[in-house]
Amino acid sequence: MAIDRGTGVIFVTEKKGRIRFVEPDGRIGTVSGVPAVDYGGQGGLGDFVFAPGETGNRLDRRTVYLSWAEAGTRNTRGAAVGKATMVCEDHSRCDLQDLTVIWRQDPKVTGRGHYSHRLTFSPDGKYLFIASGDRQKLAPAQDLKNTLGTIVRLLPDGTPAPGNPFADKGSPSDEIWSFGHRNILGLKFDDQGQLWDVEHGPAGGDELNRVRKGANFGWPEASNGKHYNGDPIPDHAQKPEFAEPAISWNPVIAPGDMVFYSGDLFADWNGQLLIAAMRPGGIVRVAIEQDSAREVARYKTENRIRAIEQANNGAIWVLEDGSGPNEGRLLKLTPPNH
């Protein structure tokens, strides 16, 4: 889910490969030109963000970035990120033109899980950060010869950004900003310019991390959870050589996405992190204190929350998970009596 700041139009991606948008007056439109996706399991269409600096009170042309699961050979697949010009001719239709793939997970592997493929730009707009999940393969997250289980830092055209910590190791190591990640579902900068991620642990151990240049977050050598078969994993206290999470959750919250709040409608929340949660469904509110963090509140919802965003006026938009008759809704949250 992404909101065009100039017009307030909300864009929603659906796993099977459809993008729809909602006008402020409630009218719904569709986006054509979406790439073919490898749908199945956790795979399909992923994130959608606008290039920095492009605004206006009329939605006619925007540069956009999107991610998706892309098929490979011999039953393999991996995340891909593309850049396109979105042209909107009326209130019912937009079209992605000149779509170009600028990055691919390396390597493509079997399976249909842990793509991550979240996208965010640095506050100055110079760098594109991409979350690249471990694809449920574990060990590659500790291997700098691939980009599984990493966060990569690129220029907006998809080339490795200058100053990346492992540039001397060649490609694709020159893309990597941090590693030892599992399955990142939220990737955002706070108002101090610090990058944070929220990621799924195994059986327990969901994490909120302050992402640092060159840091190794330990997966699968360290986790505050355990393997699904019950086998233990050393926790971060036992493995101090790895970066420790700011918060870990056990029982899990199953994060879907997150946003740093900066509006007036919920003024007491300014600077705090709102995490979309799927187990149990709701919103988890977290206070950031320099490099550390603490959970301050939870707000339960009827269904699992997959995505969360803030509108220009401070309202909070959430997108439910699911496809049942009472699921998959786009909801606007405001204070009582507003």
Active site residues: 114
End-to-end CA distance of the chain: 24
Q: Looking at beta carbons, which pairs linking 145-148 to residues 24 or more positions away fall under 8 Å?
A: 145/169, 145/172, 145/173, 146/106, 146/107, 146/172, 147/105, 147/106, 147/172, 147/175, 147/176, 148/105, 148/106, 148/107, 148/109
**Amino acid letter, residue 280:** P
Convert 186-215 to b/e letters by CB count within 10 Å (16 or more is b). bbbbbeeebbbbbbbbbbebbbbbbbeeeb
Question: Where does residue 26 rank: exposed (0-12), middle (13-18), buried (19+ CB within 10 A)?
Answer: exposed
Do residues 277 and 255 lie in contact, with contact meaning Cβ atoms separated by under 8 Å?
A: yes
Of 76, 101, 96, nearest to 86 by C-alpha is 96
Beta carbons within 8 Å of 220's beta carbon, 6+ residues apart: 134, 138, 139, 141, 142, 182, 233
SS3 26: coil
* H or E stretch at 258: strand 255-260
Of 235, 287, 279, nearest to 253 by C-alpha is 279
